[in-house]
């Protein structure tokens, strides 16, 4: 098994007793701790118009983090490309990349919440095509060369070149995968997949297989991230008690944000996979239904967590984006678990974190 890298989700975990500004300050505290513990990167989410992780501008927040922690790598999980003008997005990525010494790991996707699409007046039936075209324009811009573009959604007639010069440091892109079909789309774009550990292992294996078949040279030595939820404790039962306490409110926020009870994707052909995936989301607000979810994530004692990491690594994943920033989870508990995971689990897999631990 090769070396594994570990990042952490830097997310404002919604709390009715705290302002958004207070939640953002807590994210900065997580970043300070994450850098000290040797995590590779802080990963941010993009969501709009709800209490479900209120981070509408990950790149803006990342610039703020970069000013305080310039050596910390930064990631997104994910930027929703159909909502952006690709030229503006490419400029902001180039500018952010010039402001930090760390690596930018940019997860990109097409988004799932219909109410966000409606608010931005973007047709979800165009999501996949807009996503692909936006990425192609960003890719051209970040090449550092003058370029034009002629597509169904955007046209750039006169050659333009991005400023600042974007070629000084590579930006890593990853495409959010919701199905094997999405894996093929990302493979055709030459973008590595970013997956969720809640998918069945057989499906994860199929996703990686179909991606590799289409990705060609891009599959060689690729960073393959997976997003995992983490609660660590002395025993499995203690960790699962934490999950039964904090995951139901998280899934309730998710149901509200995605309007999953109303199945808003029923009439959108490109989203039929999501329609099936979210059909049973509401049941996860019941603590008694959380067993399979916790089994697929990193919930348990250090030994149990290592067994799950071994399983996912055996499938091919070599970058774990770990989240204990679940809505309502106190900062002190979250940071205790970040610390324990970094000290007791990560050094078994990461030479970088072994060095930090030894120091």
Q: Domain residue spans in the chain?
A: 5-358
Write down the architecture of domain 5-358 according to CATH.
Alpha-Beta Barrel (3.20)
Tokens 């709009």 belong to residue = 48
305-323 b/e (C-beta count within 10 Å ≥ 16 → b) = bbebbeebbebbbbbbbbb
pLDDT for res 276? 87
Could you count the other beta carbons within 10 Å of the beta carbon of residue 160?
14
Smallest Cα–Cα separation from 102: which of 11, 38, 191, 193?
Answer: 38
Instruction: Tell me the two tokens of residue 41.
Output: 């990167």
Regions in the chain scoring below 70 on pLDDT = 1
pLDDT one-digit tens code per residue, 304-323: 999 999 999 999 999 999 99
pTM of the full structure: 0.96
Instruction: Give the per-residue pLDDT at 3.
Output: 93
Residue length, the chain?
Answer: 359
pLDDT of residue 357: 83
Question: Which pLDDT value is given to residue 1?
Answer: 57
């Amino acid at each position: 098994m090769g070396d594994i890298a570990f990042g952490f989700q830097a997310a404002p975990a919604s709390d009715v007793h705290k302002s958004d500004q207070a939640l953002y300050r807590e994210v900065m505290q997580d970043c300070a701790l994450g850098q000290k513990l040797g995590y590779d990167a802080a990963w941010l989410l993009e969501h709009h118009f709800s209490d479900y992780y209120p981070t509408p501008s990950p790149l803006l927040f990342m610039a703020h983090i970069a000013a305080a922690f310039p050596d910390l790598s930064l990631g997104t999980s994910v930027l929703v490309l159909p909502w952006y003008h690709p030229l503006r997005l490419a400029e902001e990525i180039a500018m952010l990349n010039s402001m930090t010494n760390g690596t930018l790991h940019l997860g990109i996707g097409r988004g799932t919440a219909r109410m966000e699409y409606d608010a931005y007046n973007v047709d979800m039936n165009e999501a996949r095509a807009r996503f692909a075209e936006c990425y192609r324009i960003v890719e051209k811009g970040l090449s550092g060369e003058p370029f034009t573009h002629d597509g169904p959604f955007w046209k750039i007639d006169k050659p333009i070149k991005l400023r600042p010069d974007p070629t000084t440091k590579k930006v890593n892109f990853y495409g959010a995968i919701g199905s094997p079909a999405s894996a093929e789309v990302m493979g055709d774009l030459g973008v590595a997949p970013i997956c969720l550990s809640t998918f069945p292992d057989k499906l994860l294996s199929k996703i990686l297989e179909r991606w590799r078949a289409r990705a060609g040279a891009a599959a060689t030595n690729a960073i393959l991230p997976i997003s995992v939820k983490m609660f660590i404790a002395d025993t499995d039962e203690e960790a699962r008690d934490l999950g039964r306490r904090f995951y139901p409110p998280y899934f309730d926020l998710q149901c509200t944000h995605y309007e999953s009870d109303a199945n808003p994707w029923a009439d959108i052909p490109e989203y039929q996979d999501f329609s099936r995936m979210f059909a049973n989301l509401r049941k996860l607000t019941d603590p008694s239904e959380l067993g399979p979810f916790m089994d697929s994530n990193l919930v348990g004692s250090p030994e149990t967590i290592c067994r799950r990491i071994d399983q996912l690594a055996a499938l091919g994943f070599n970058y774990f984006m770990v989240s204990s920033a679940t809505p309502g989870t106190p900062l002190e508990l979250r940071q205790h678990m970040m610390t324990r995971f970094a000290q007791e689990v990560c050094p078994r897999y990461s030479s970088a974190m072994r060095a930090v631990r030894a120091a």
